[in-house]
Structure 1
Amino acid sequence: MSAPSVATLYPALLHTHIGLVTLSAGLFVLRWLGVLAGARWPLQRLWRTLSVVIDTALLSAGATLWWLLQLHPLHQPWLGTKLAWLVVYIGLGTFALKRGRTPAHKFAFGVLALAVLAYMASVALARHPLGWWRL
């Protein structure tokens, strides 16, 4: 029996990756809105752990796509750009959920995190570092 081909694995893996992006972003938004409303549940262990599990699966799916397609972040500028902005998104998200000093700060950091997330999606869709600003 031969190994599955890229053509067979790619669609399922891509849809898994996109689904996990949606879950991760959705959970972030729910937790962020909860924090802004003054709820305690968004920072409870269950929700933090669920977020880590989803994000770990998301990164695993992304890394598997890199391997499957033989991509390298230093050779494909759009991928390197997306990964660099991922670090920014994570940092902004921590300030939106926990580290922001005031509700106004948490609101602003959450908006910025969502803007970065949207930009990352545009970079991925355009496969270009400028994303939606590509000429």
Structure 2
Amino acid sequence: MTIQYFTYAFQLKMTRALSRVARSASDRITVRQDGELRGLQVHLIRYLTVEGHYVVYHSREGDFSEYLTLSAAEKKLNSPLFCRCDRGCLVNLRFVSAIRKDVCVVDGQELVIARTQRAQFLKAYVEFLGGTRQGE
């Protein structure tokens, strides 16, 4: 075996390792709750709601609140998988199991879809599923 082969193999392994590190770092956000910092995995967050001046992250890891606006939380998540169904609710489309009239079902929890958000939410959900709606 030549040195070129080992150099190429090392380069390939290093590239893969660096891409995994970059992917895992961007897959987590930091939430400050009661003076404590906690890392949450973005793909485990089901939805976010607003309670007073706090955003509540409803996650498979539990519920965590942070003194923040929903818009700031949306920027922090920086993911096209999250879409507003109401002005005070942001949903991870991966966890939507059904959409009925004016509600979406997320892990058994019914969340209201605001009339003003309905078209945008349905469009985002259809795009997430990989289809396109004709006539709308």
Is this a same-fold pair by TM over 0.5? no
Larger Rg: 1 or 2? 2
Higher helix share: 1
Using the size of structure 1 for normalisation, the TM-score is 0.31
| Higher RCO by CA contacts (8 Å cutoff, separation 6 or greater) | 1
TM-score normalised by structure 2 residue count? 0.31
